[in-house]
Structure 1
Amino acid sequence: MAIKRAPSLFISHGAGPFAILGSPHQQPLVDLCKEIQWVLDGAKGVIVVTAHWETDRPYVSSALNPELYYDYFDNLAGQLPREAFEIKYPGKGDPELAQKIKDKLDQHGLQAILDDTRGWDHGVWVPMILLRPQADIPIVQVSIPNGRDEATEPALKLGRALAGLRDEGYIILGSGSSYHNFNAVIDSIMGQSNGASPIPSNRPFEDAMDEVAKLPDANQKAAKILKWREEFPDSEAVQPVGSSEHFVPFIVNIGAAGNDVGRKLGEWDLFGTIMSFYMW
């Protein structure tokens, strides 16, 4: 039987551990993930590209039993409950898939490095707990290019290099956020403000993402996404300069999409900001 081509999937993974801890402001994320759990059905493995692992060259997690990293901001960690450091996810790594990924990246001149010591950060375990609580699909994490010069071109190249693995049944899961002006929402997340919506709205930025995602040609997608910083509305307010790492997984997904036409699987609201999911 022919292997079904796996999707390229982008999700906005929410704030730290709060979705797993049951915070009301993250419930829309939990609900949306439950609605789309079917996307992972039949996948041979999940290749997770997250905003929380930035390197100069691609690193690939190759451990069979990675630990979980509780990678919270130092100035917030002390305000979190003990439960935030006790979250578990019994997922497995896949050393053979990791080697396959490295080989694929090396073929594209990316000189990948296998890493059998690094654990999974919350950009992996938050979405996987919500999307696949039964933990029955192997996972390999891949780092993103570091944020110098927005990392747009190398992120696009990384996605293109990973794209062929979709034909072998491996999902490319970009775990980031379509909105990530952390300073504009952190007080609301921590319950220290009235939860007022940040200004400006990120709806125009979302519309630009939607336009790129739905283009039917890989070259058209690339031409648009390479100019996102200059041309997407309010880009500096939505993805601040120097800290746009949460947008990078979307760019990787665009690269992995090829000529596929994307569709928005849904969006959720975080204190008036729009957080979107896409699939190709």
Structure 2
Amino acid sequence: MLPSLFISHGSPMLPLVETPARDFLAGLGGTLPRPKAILVASAHWETERPTVNAVARNDTIHDFFGFPRALYELSYPAPGDPALAERVSDLLGAAGLASEVDRSRGLDHGAWVPLLLAYPDADIPVLQVSVQSHLGPAHHLQLGQALAPLRAEGVLVIGSGSFTHDLRRFRGQGIDTPEAPDVVAFSDWMDEALAEGRRSDLLTYRNKAPHAADEHPTEEHLLPLFVAMGAGGEGATPRRIHKSANYGVLRMDAYAFA
């Protein structure tokens, strides 16, 4: 059975810049059984209630500005799967989570940037499910738990965000700038809590993890971690499958839950 994954997608420039995180994602697809479809909970799609996209083929959304032209020329025209979108909606409803279906939205860079590296042929159906940043970690754990049956159906469930995401310090930093001490402290605390199965601490990380509000001034980039955690199933063991940092403030860690 496929694991669920949390991946850090970093800057939209990731496909065009040589970094350890880029190399990790470029090899990720080869380490997993080929999925029947991929469902991504991306930090870059925030809605009032959970929403899944249902299109025949995904448009590539370039939801950023000020980057080199070469980035805007990249596309990821993966097929969608409207029937699977209805299945996702049904699972959410059965878990008591009212949801909606969006029949026009394509893939934002939280989905297509990492998938361009991991599955460059764009020949696997891809869907997205939105996050609700106003509802916090426990809601997203529940959302992931509702999606857990999909793993047995050959669907790769991915939470795509960033292990740390303080963009206030991002601009002007070199990509290989050493990590700030507060970034290290927060990331080490999170990794220990994951490894030790301290779910209650993780759900209340904002009050317990060092520098939590600094590393995540807003929560949307960490909430996909909780989706992946829930989708891993009851008793899932987290395994860190990548650790690196870009620009000194963006931790690019990735985890598998199985």
TM-score, with normalisation over the residues of structure 2?
0.92
Q: How many residues align?
A: 255
Report Cα offsets for 1:61-114 as digits up to 9, x if no partner: 100112111101xxxx2x322222221113111111111100100111111111
What percentage of residue pairs aligned between the two structures are identical? 35
> Do residues 68 (structure 1) and 60 (structure 2) align?
yes
Aligned partners of 1:6 and 1:171 also within 8 Å: yes
> Do residues 185 (structure 1) and 170 (structure 2) align?
yes
> Do residues 49 (structure 1) and 41 (structure 2) align?
yes
Partner SS state of residue 99, structure 1: helix
Aligned partners of 1:68 and 1:125 also within 8 Å: yes
Find 1:156's aligned residue among 141, 149, 173: 141
Cα distance, 1:213 vs structure 2:
2.8
- 1:196–1:266: structure 2 CA closer, same or farther, 3 Å change rule? closer
Aligned partners of 1:6 and 1:168 also within 8 Å: no
Q: Which runs of 5+ in 2 are unaligned?
A: none
Distance in 2 (alpha carbons) for counterparts of 1:136 and 1:277:
23
Query: 2:128: which partner in 1?
Result: 141
Distance in 2 (alpha carbons) for counterparts of 1:123 and 1:262:
21
Cα distance, 1:137 vs structure 2:
1.6
Query: 1:200: which partner in 2?
Result: 181
Partner SS state of residue 136, structure 1: coil
Query: 1:12: which partner in 2?
Result: 8
Aligned partners of 2:81 and 2:126 also within 8 Å: yes
Find 2:85's aligned residue among 93, 98, 101: 98
Aligned partners of 2:52 and 2:128 also within 8 Å: yes
Partner SS state of residue 187, structure 1: coil
Find 2:209's aligned residue among 207, 220, 232: 232
Partner SS state of residue 243, structure 2: strand
Find 2:219's aligned residue among 244, 249, 264: 244
Partner SS state of residue 36, structure 1: helix
Query: 1:259: which partner in 2?
Result: 235
Report Cα offsets for 1:1-30 as digits up to 9, x if no partner: xxxx221101110102x122x234xx2221
Distance in 2 (alpha carbons) for counterparts of 1:230 and 1:47:
30
Find 1:166's aligned residue among 151, 159, 163: 151
RMSD, aligned CA:
1.9
Distance in 2 (alpha carbons) for counterparts of 1:198 and 1:33:
21
Distance in 2 (alpha carbons) for counterparts of 1:214 and 1:198:
22
Distance in 2 (alpha carbons) for counterparts of 1:40 and 1:270:
25
Query: 2:246: which partner in 1?
Result: 270
Letter in 2 for 1:252: V
Query: 1:23: which partner in 2?
Result: 17
Distance in 2 (alpha carbons) for counterparts of 1:213 and 1:174:
15
Distance in 2 (alpha carbons) for counterparts of 1:40 and 1:96:
24
Aligned partners of 1:105 and 1:158 also within 8 Å: yes
Q: Which runs of 5+ in 1 are unaligned?
A: none
> Do residues 128 (structure 1) and 128 (structure 2) align?
no
Letter in 2 for 1:187: G
Aligned partners of 1:200 and 1:234 also within 8 Å: no
Aligned partners of 2:55 and 2:104 also within 8 Å: yes
Distance in 2 (alpha carbons) for counterparts of 1:67 and 1:136:
14
Partner SS state of residue 186, structure 1: coil
Bigger Cα displacement from structure 2, 85-94 vs 98-107: 85-94
